[in-house]
Amino acid sequence: MAVDYKLIGERLKKARLEKGMTQDNLAESLNVSIAYLSRIETGTTKVNLKRLSEFCNLLSISEAEIISGASDDSENYLNNDLSNLLKNCSPEKQRLIYRIANIISES
């Protein structure tokens, strides 16, 4: 599975905006240029794990949420992942997944 840096950048930008921070504020806090931050947010520059962790600490968001889009703090954090998984499956595989999930939920 390839890392989608564009999606990571979009999630970082969304988290920054939800915190009410400008690119200038965040760039200054991280001691990086606004241009570098902009390239990360647009996915044109890859962010390494150390820098991602710094972003997440300042934005009070988990690395897992930025990478996967799912917050494990939420009761329904797998809904999007399951929905996307099912969308990419044939109807036959969807029925099989449903039957397996149904068996597990009943046990």
For 77-86, write each residue's pLDDT tens digit: 567 677 878 8
What share of the chain in percent tops pLDDT 70? 89
Find out whether 69 and 80 touch, Cβ atoms under 8 Å: yes
Distances (CA, A) of 30 to 24, 34, 71, 88: 10, 10, 23, 38
Mean pLDDT along residues 50-65: 92
Q: What is the pLDDT of residues 22-37, one digit of tens each?
A: 999 999 999 999 999 9
